[in-house]
């Protein structure tokens, strides 16, 4: 088990390397010459040449690439074109707000999705199953940011229960009040994914021989459902949890825009609109790093939950 965990942890390095390379070359493709991008097309040739010298753009691309990776490893992503402040500083300022949103979103998604999935899976084709499946199908098809807009229209503009602009400030309750609607919109969409996954996984497990054996030996259904079936049904759900978290994280980009909420997503979208390449680069790297780390953690959890899984 220790070797497995160590291998998984080590695999973070090549993964981040590939992602880092992807981001670096995509950004080069995008910006062309960063010096021109920074100074604008009106700049003189001399000032561009000077800046190129300053930024080290005269060096071979390979050297710049290695340099970028080494700096990224130290958490140095350069300075933002727009604000002149270090990218890392801005990213880490925005990060907690996004984490807060993702946390509440995931919590709502799990609290709603898991029980509904279990009830629907244990009683397939019941009215509850039927209704929850239709609701989940709609949730699956509705973009989370659209649900956010609908919630905003009803609960903020019409009823006035929540602020129109979500600013996470102040004490715990005030923050929660500001975060609730965006988190709810992400969480409810998430819940429909989780519900469907748990339901189909549970249905599959309930067909297994050992479930029939348990019934045959006279075990009470409740015990069979929750002891025998659910535990095994949750194993495949763990694997997609990382994927769900990634989707949720990406969804914050849109939800933060709808609710005018500060965070990584707003920072990234703003950077893209202002062509602030160092900030885009840093933002994408942080997203990528978080997703890679989460997926590795999920992989390790999966290994712990299902002892029959062993990678070599």
Partner 1 sequence: MENRQADSLEVRPTKGRSELAAVETPRPAASRLKALWNARWMRRFRRDRMAVAGIICVLLLSLMAVFAPWLAPYDPAEQHILYRLRGPSDMFKLGTDEFGRDVLSRLIYGSRASLVVGLASVLLAGVAGTIIGGVSGYVGGTFDQIVSSVVNILMSFPSLLLGLMVVVALGPGTTNVIIAVALSLLPNFIRLARAPVLALREREFVLASRALGASQARIVWNHILPNILGPISVMSTLWIATAIRTEASLSFLGLGVQPPTPSWGNMIRSGVNNILSNPWLAVYSGLAITVTVLAFNVIGDGLRDALDPKQRS
- What is the smallest separation between the CB atom of 291 and partner 1, expressed in angstroms? 6
23 is a contact residue toward partner 1 (CB under 8 A): yes
243 binds partner 1 (CB under 8 A): yes
Q: Looking at 5, 7, 9, 15, which residue binds partner 1 (CB under 8 A)? A: 15
Residue number, 51 or 142, with CB nearest to partner 1: 142
Pick from 24, 145, 162, 180: which binds partner 1 (CB under 8 A)? Answer: 145
Does the protein bind partner 1 through residue 247 (CB under 8 A)?
A: yes
DSSP per residue, 18-82: HHHHHHHHHHHHHHSSHHHHHH-TTS-HHHHHHHHHHHTTTS-HHHHHHHHHHHHHTT---B-TT
Contact segment (CB under 8 A) with partner 1 among 35-43, 80-88, 108-116, 264-272 equals 264-272
Interface with partner 1, residue 95, by CB under 8 A: no
Stretch that binds partner 1, among 103-111, 165-173, 283-291, 301-309 (CB under 8 A): 283-291
Q: 64-87 as b/e, with b when 16 or more CB fall inside 10 Å?
A: bbeebeeebeeeebbbbbeeeebb
Unique residue bearing structure tokens 């130290």: 74
- Contact between 19 and partner 1 per CB under 8 A: yes
The sign of the dihedral angle between the CA atoms of 294, 300, 304, 308 is: positive
Non-local CB neighbours of 2 within 8 Å, separated by 6+ positions: none
Q: 185: which DSSP letter?
A: H
Residue placing its CB nearer to partner 1 in the complex, 165 or 176: 165
**Interacting residue with partner 1 among 146, 175, 301, 306 (CB under 8 A):** 146
Q: How far is CA 185 from the centre of its chain?
A: 14
295 scored as a contact of partner 1 (CB under 8 A): yes
Is 152 a binder of partner 1 (CB under 8 A)?
A: yes
Which of 10-18, 37-45, 87-95, 223-231 is the region at the interface with partner 1 (rule: CB under 8 A)? 10-18
CA 265/CA 263 separation, integer angstroms: 6
Closest distance of CB 217 from partner 1, Å? 26
Whole-angstrom distance, CA of residue 270 vs CA of residue 262: 11
Burial of 6 from C-beta contacts in 10 A (0-12 / 13-18 / 19+)? exposed
The site for partner 1 (CB under 8 A) is made up of 14-15, 18-19, 22-23, 26-27, 29-30, 137-138, 140-143, 145-146, 149-150, 152-153, 157, 196, 200, 203-204, 242-243, 246-247, 249-251, 253-254, 257-258, 268-269, 272-273, 280, 284, 287-288, 291-292, 295
């Amino acid at each position: 088990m220790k070797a497995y965990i160590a291998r998984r942890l080590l695999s973070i390095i090549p993964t981040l390397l590939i992602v880092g390379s992807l981001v670096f070359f995509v950004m080069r493709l995008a910006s062309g010459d960063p010096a021109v991008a920074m100074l604008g097309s009106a700049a003189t040739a001399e000032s561009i040449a000077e800046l190129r010298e300053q930024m080290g753009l005269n060096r071979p691309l390979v050297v710049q690439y290695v340099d970028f990776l080494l700096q990224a490893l130290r958490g140095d992503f350069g300075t933002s074109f727009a604000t002149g402040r270090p990218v890392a500083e801005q990213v880490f300022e925005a990060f907690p707000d996004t984490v807060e949103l993702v946390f509440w979103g995931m919590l709502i998604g799990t609290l709603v999705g898991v029980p509904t999935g279990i009830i629907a899976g244990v009683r397939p084709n019941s009215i509850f199953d039927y209704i929850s499946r239709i609701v989940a199908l709609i949730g699956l098809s509705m973009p989370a940011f659209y649900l956010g807009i609908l919630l905003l229209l009803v609960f903020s503009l019409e009823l006035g229960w929540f602020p129109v602009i979500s600013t996470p400030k102040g004490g715990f309750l005030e923050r929660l009040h500001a975060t609730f609607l965006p988190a709810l919109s992400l969480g409810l969409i998430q819940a429909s994914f989780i519900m469907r996954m748990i339901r189909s996984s549970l249905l599959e497990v309930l067909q297994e021989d050992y479930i029939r054996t348990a019934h045959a030996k006279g075990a009470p259904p409740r015990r069979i459902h929750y002891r025998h079936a659910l535990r095994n049904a949750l194993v495949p759900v763990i694997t997609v949890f990382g994927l769900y978290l990634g989707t949720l994280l990406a969804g914050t980009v849109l939800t933060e825009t709808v609710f005018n909420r500060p965070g990584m997503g707003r920072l990234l979208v703003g950077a893209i609109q202002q062509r602030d390449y160092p900030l885009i680069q840093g933002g994408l790297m942080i997203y990528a790093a978080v997703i890679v780390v989460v997926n590795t953690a999920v992989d390790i959890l999966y290994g712990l939950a299902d002892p029959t899984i062993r990678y070599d």
